[in-house]
A and B are shown apart, each in its own frame.
Chain A
Amino acid sequence: MTSSMHMHSPTNHSRRDFLSGLGCLGGGLLLNTLPSFSAQAQGFGDYKALVCVFLLGGNDGNNMIVPNDTAGYGKYAAIRGDYTRTSGAVGLPRSELLALQPASGNAAFGAHPALTHLQQVWNAGDLAVLFNVGTLARPLTKAGYGNCTLTPDNLFSHADQQAQWQSAVSQGISRTGWGGRLADAVRSANGAAPVPPLVAWGRNDLFAIGNSTMSLSVPSSGTFGLTNFGGGSYRSSISGSLNQMLQLDRGNALVASAQDTVQSAITSSGALSPILSGTSSSINGFFSGQSSGIAQQLLQTARMIEARGALGVSRQIFYVALGGFDTHNSQIETQAELFGQLSPALKAFQDSMAQLGMADQVTTFTVSDFGRTLKPASGGGTDHAWGNHHLVMGGAVRGQRFYGQFPEHALGGPDDVTSEGRWLPTTSVDQYGATLSRWFGVSDADLATVFPNLQQFPNKDLGFLG
């Protein structure tokens, strides 16, 4: 990336983290200084990648990880019912659950029956479960819920909660995402690589927007690049003029931004097209038979990691997404179908990493808008909620373990902020992201910039890595 690619604001605003001060905390979170990352980032001697898997729409974690002891399952089933017995119920029968035997202790939890591949990854020690993670401004008790200064803005709203998960800013509006800020922090380690540190597949989401780093969003199909135009003798002059036009008339901020996207696309496509075509990849076979979008995105991610040497990168962040989790109706069928895509794709990815000798250097983690109500809603689905369970996968993960506190399955109970089973999170997005970022190599000083709200939480490393 050349510096001209991110210096195009004609309005003379300093490039800082633009937090507009909306919401509960007013200007309290406003960052007034240009983030300065320590030069230490330049010195990584190894390769690491983070793969963020966004389950768009709000995955129902309550059916992803289900209590599997008699008492716990009883509470779950009392509220969710059993879909095999009652029309409109969204509870899974206990007999269908896949046991998640922890490294030590009893198997008190089971996984959704469509997660058979992930059960294998769990058994191999490469998967961990985090209980009840969510957007938080600070540690919060039920008594503090609803207090404007303590509670995240616009809970239960897709757009707002996605933005808060992606920005790690839960009060006020952030114009950058934590993936983008993480990319800012490690960018110098990649030298003059033809691709930026953060690559997304076909989506432009807030997660990927940095203060100074433009991310790259490319189609996972692998078809990507500028086609030639013009007869042989004119071709090079037309191509030269096309590039020249990209440098002109940059006084308008929108024009300049559109030009930067084209420039970055042209630069990166030359390097990426041979990789994404996959013709010389050694890991294609792990994904054979999988036609889902999530499998395709993870396959392309694996190919790029395979080509890390050619690309000259030492730190990469990938953003992959699977949509359809907003299960207001027909949840049983929909979630099983989506997990049926997700589970084998994640395992194929992990197997690919092992084949490449990269298992310990690549960590994959899930995020989602929010969890869903434990209580069913009309139509065989569930409504928007808050705290949610998540998965972390990789060789560096201290796997086959559960982290955090499982919420008490009681409507209106100690963990429910309403009366439909909306869990008050006991672990914040900030803590989750910071644990991943520390492993990634970000210094404690830089962490405070990537996660401006991390200081609110005493425990800054959840211990699931390394």
Chain B
Amino acid sequence: MSTADAVRLLEQASFGPTLTSIAEVQAGTVESWIDRQLSLPATGYAGYPVMEATQSIGCPTTAIATCSRDNYSLFPIQTRFFRNALAGPDQLRQRVAFALSQIFVTSGNEVAVTYAMAGYQQMLLDNAFGTYRQLLEKVTVSPVMGRYLDMANNERPNPAAGVEPNENYAREVLQLFSLGVYELNADGSPKQDGQGRAIASYDQDTVEGFAHAFTGWTYPPKAGRPVRWNNPRHFDGPMAAVAEAHDNGAKRLLSGVVLPANQGQDQDIRQALDNIANHPNVGPFIGKQLIQHLVTSNPSPAYVARISAVFDRDSNSVRGNLGSVVRAILLDPEARGDLKTAPDYGKLREPGLFLANLMRGIGGSSDGVYLRARSTVMGQPIYQAPSVFNFYPPNYPLQGTLLVGPSFGLNTAGSALERINLLARLLTGPVTADSTVPGAIGTQLDLGVWQVLAGDPAALLDRIDLLFFHNTMSFASRITIQTTLSTIPVSDTASRARTALYLALSSAQYQVAQ
């Protein structure tokens, strides 16, 4: 495969191309690279101790000063996210799991216990290439999701107290994790009735049906303790079933399915999840979002339809095989090739991807501390979205067009300037290590190789064009940068290298990956 196509693949399937990873791709075929990536185990989030749910108990006043940061905040896993992104060998798994974390959203705003969120993100990594049904079940019984969307300790109707089951998880699992609000064609467009109206994929009664089906789950017990109703918050392992808190009535679900009364809690949740996972919306709804996260914000209906078909049935006749879906997304003609020139093609790099991409492309090292802080300033604190609706909606309109630009939902004036300011900061010198962080090394770019190239502006721009633009930088952009370099003495290789990288990477031409 061509170098440009290899770079594009690495834009889509990794946290950014490096000279090493380009060579790795070119040593085989696209398929062989993807298949190897699919088989790599997760570089994950192991090693965070199980703590008391309450910070005042886990970090008493006598604890070391960093106890709270290291056990009751997302700081450790947000920094580790960037370390994994920069150096993990399982790049594709990391990318897909990051996308999944923005579809099956939980947030550190409500679940800040470090080991809990680490466990949830590890689960997404481990299940990123399994079946959708399996992933859906892991998400549903996760105590982190149980806490976030109130499925934990959700009790059957209590007429004496005048209380109904909580509908939060039931509604959002349908709206956000599986179907969306409209019935969809395989190409992602909404189905229409005889009068040209979109058709709702479920109604309030369906939401209540699922809310009842999902009653009776509580937090996993602490070690050595029995399962009982209203277990206190604890996140070590999946949620536990408590039969007497489960509603035993019949439940109306999707597609005309009714769960019969009194069949029990395990049967109810299994059949409820089957009911969701078998709905024809899941392929186009989840498939399109994965395309948007990996490849382009406005995929053609035909592209979505091809992915839906793979979701429905892969070459081994498996439904919802996410590994096959990811493979098909990346091998699709709309993803592959040296360049795409359609005026609606591409996606604005979201802050997390922008930061990882520039670090990998330029070369350098980071403990993740600074990158974590800057992604937060740019509006994307990793695993800490403001709500279950993620950092931005998948249908955020690109103003003045008929297109969507999901990550434009984050691109405020402040966030857009911060991208440029961040480059200015990192290109000027290292960010020193925070000595309170174990193993801290700070964040620094290695400009050595760029300075070597800087004596020859053409060679410098060739390298930039390759790594950051897959050889599509326009002549006008190139000339603009080159002209600027000519005002800097040849001997000042540092300034030349910095200036070229600053102008190239701050440009919208780079910020929008095509």
Please list the residues of chain A having a beta carbon within 8 angstroms of any beta carbon in chain B. Answer: 6-11, 13, 15, 18, 21-27, 56-57, 79, 81, 86, 88-89, 148, 153-160, 173, 175-176, 200, 202-204, 206, 209-212, 214, 216-219, 224-231, 234, 237-238, 240-242, 244-246, 248-249, 251-259, 261-262, 264-266, 268-269, 323, 326, 328-329, 373, 375-379, 381, 383-384, 418, 420
Residues of B within 8 A of A22 (CB): 182, 190, 197-198
CA distance A256 to B405 in the complex (A): 12
Q: Give the residue of B387, B420, B421, B427 whose beta carbon is less than 8 angstroms from that of A57.
A: B387
Residues of B within 8 A of A27 (CB): 196
Q: Give the residue of A257, A268, A269, A326 whose beta carbon is less than 8 angstroms from that of B405.
A: A257
CA distance A255 to B512 in the complex (A): 6
Nearest chain A CB to B164 CB, angstrom units:
5
Also in contact, A56 and B480, with CB within 8 A (given A6-B399, A241-B503, A258-B511): no
B147 to A, closest residue via Cβ: A329
B53 on interface, CB distance cutoff 8 Å: no
- A326 with B401: CB separation less than 8 A: no
A272 to B, closest residue via Cβ: B413
Contacts beyond the supplied A155-B204, A245-B506, A253-B398: 5 A-B pairs with Cβ under 8 Å: A160-B181, A203-B412, A216-B413, A227-B421, A328-B167
- B166 with A381: CB separation less than 8 A: yes
Residues of B within 8 A of A420 (CB): 164
Q: Interface centre among B181, B197, B514, by most A CB within 10 Å?
A: B197
In the complex, number of A-B residue pairs with CB atoms less than 8 Å apart: 269
Nearest chain A CB to B509 CB, angstrom units:
5
B465 on interface, CB distance cutoff 8 Å: no
- B161 with A224: CB separation less than 8 A: no
B496 to A, closest residue via Cβ: A234
Nearest chain B CB to A164 CB, angstrom units:
12
CA distance A238 to B149 in the complex (A): 49
Residues of A within 8 A of B195 (CB): 26
Q: Give the residue of B412, B420, B421, B508 whose beta carbon is less than 8 angstroms from that of A219.
A: B412
Q: Give the residue of B153, B398, B502, B506 whose beta carbon is less than 8 angstroms from that of A378.
A: B153
B483 on interface, CB distance cutoff 8 Å: yes
CA distance A62 to B103 in the complex (A): 32
What are 7 inter-chain pairs, A to B, with CB distance below 8 A? A217-B413, A229-B427, A253-B398, A376-B163, A379-B154, A383-B166, A384-B171
Residues of B within 8 A of A13 (CB): 401-402
- B503 with A258: CB separation less than 8 A: no
Nearest chain A CB to B193 CB, angstrom units:
8
B168 on interface, CB distance cutoff 8 Å: yes
Q: Give the residue of B387, B399, B481, B508 whose beta carbon is less than 8 angstroms from that of A209.
A: B399
B 299-330 to A, binary, CB cutoff 8 A, 1 in contact else 0: 00000000000000000000000000000000
Q: Give the residue of A9, A248, A265 whose beta carbon is less than 8 angstroms from that of B417.
A: A265
CA distance A378 to B163 in the complex (A): 6
CA distance A160 to B394 in the complex (A): 13
Q: Give the residue of A18, A154, A248, A379 whose beta carbon is less than 8 angstroms from that of B150.
A: A379
B432 on interface, CB distance cutoff 8 Å: no
Residues of B within 8 A of A373 (CB): 164
- A377 with B414: CB separation less than 8 A: no
Residues of A within 8 A of B507 (CB): 245-246
B377 to A, closest residue via Cβ: A219
Nearest chain B CB to A156 CB, angstrom units:
6
B 382-421 to A, binary, CB cutoff 8 A, 1 in contact else 0: 0000111100110111111111010011111110110011
Q: Interface centre among A27, A79, A204, A246, by most B CB within 10 Å?
A: A204
Q: Give the residue of B164, B397, B428, B477 whose beta carbon is less than 8 angstroms from that of A375.
A: B164
A243 to B, closest residue via Cβ: B480
Nearest chain A CB to B309 CB, angstrom units:
24
Residues of A within 8 A of B512 (CB): 252, 254-255, 258
Also in contact, A226 and B421, with CB within 8 A (given A252-B343, A255-B512): yes
Residues of B within 8 A of A242 (CB): 420, 503, 506
- A158 with B165: CB separation less than 8 A: no
Q: Give the residue of B162, B348, B396, B400 whose beta carbon is less than 8 angstroms from that of A6.
A: B400
Also in contact, A249 and B417, with CB within 8 A (given A13-B402, A259-B508): no
A173 to B, closest residue via Cβ: B395
B482 to A, closest residue via Cβ: A241
Q: Main secondary structure on chain A at its contact with chain B?
A: loop
Also in contact, A225 and B150, with CB within 8 A (given A248-B476, A377-B164): no
Residues of A within 8 A of B16 (CB): none
- B161 with A258: CB separation less than 8 A: no
Q: Interface centre among A214, A245, A264, A420, by most B CB within 10 Å?
A: A245
B474 to A, closest residue via Cβ: A249
Residues of B within 8 A of A378 (CB): 150, 153-155, 158, 163-166, 215
Residues of A within 8 A of B412 (CB): 200, 202-204, 217-219, 261
- A261 with B411: CB separation less than 8 A: yes
Nearest chain A CB to B421 CB, angstrom units:
5
CA distance A88 to B159 in the complex (A): 13
Residues of A within 8 A of B417 (CB): 224-226, 262, 265-266, 269
Q: Give the residue of B481, B498, B509, B514 whose beta carbon is less than 8 angstroms from that of A241.
A: B481
CA distance A216 to B488 in the complex (A): 35
B 181-224 to A, binary, CB cutoff 8 A, 1 in contact else 0: 11000000010100111101000100100000001000000000
Also in contact, A262 and B508, with CB within 8 A (given A242-B503, A248-B474): yes
- B297 with A254: CB separation less than 8 A: yes
A79 to B, closest residue via Cβ: B162
B424 on interface, CB distance cutoff 8 Å: yes
B484 on interface, CB distance cutoff 8 Å: yes
CA distance A176 to B402 in the complex (A): 11
Also in contact, A255 and B190, with CB within 8 A (given A27-B196, A160-B181, A226-B417): no
Also in contact, A262 and B477, with CB within 8 A (given A13-B402, A18-B397, A156-B204): no
B157 to A, closest residue via Cβ: A378
CA distance A47 to B258 in the complex (A): 60
Also in contact, A219 and B400, with CB within 8 A (given A26-B195, A238-B502, A253-B343): no
- A159 with B150: CB separation less than 8 A: no
- B389 with A253: CB separation less than 8 A: no
B414 to A, closest residue via Cβ: A219
Residues of B within 8 A of A377 (CB): 163-167
CA distance A173 to B397 in the complex (A): 11
A177 to B, closest residue via Cβ: B397
Residues of A within 8 A of B397 (CB): 18, 175-176, 206, 209
Also in contact, A9 and B401, with CB within 8 A (given A159-B175, A326-B387): yes
Also in contact, A261 and B413, with CB within 8 A (given A241-B503, A252-B343): yes
Nearest chain A CB to B348 CB, angstrom units:
6
- B167 with A384: CB separation less than 8 A: yes
CA distance A367 to B348 in the complex (A): 30
Q: Which residues of chain B from 123 to 153 have any CB-CB distance to chain A below 8 Å in the complex?
A: 149-150, 153
B487 on interface, CB distance cutoff 8 Å: yes
Residues of A within 8 A of B427 (CB): 229
Residues of A within 8 A of B48 (CB): none
Nearest chain A CB to B416 CB, angstrom units:
5
CA distance A251 to B477 in the complex (A): 13
- A234 with B421: CB separation less than 8 A: no
A259 to B, closest residue via Cβ: B508
Q: Give the residue of B196, B215, B503 whose beta carbon is less than 8 angstroms from that of A245.
A: B503
B345 on interface, CB distance cutoff 8 Å: yes
CA distance A21 to B190 in the complex (A): 11
Residues of B within 8 A of A261 (CB): 408, 411-413, 416
Also in contact, A159 and B477, with CB within 8 A (given A22-B198, A258-B348): no
Nearest chain B CB to A141 CB, angstrom units:
18
B293 on interface, CB distance cutoff 8 Å: no
B 486-506 to A, binary, CB cutoff 8 A, 1 in contact else 0: 011000000100110011001
- A418 with B509: CB separation less than 8 A: no
Q: Interface centre among A202, A240, A329, by most B CB within 10 Å?
A: A329
CA distance A153 to B503 in the complex (A): 46
Residues of B within 8 A of A156 (CB): 171, 204, 207
CA distance A173 to B400 in the complex (A): 15
Also in contact, A265 and B402, with CB within 8 A (given A252-B514, A254-B347, A329-B166): no
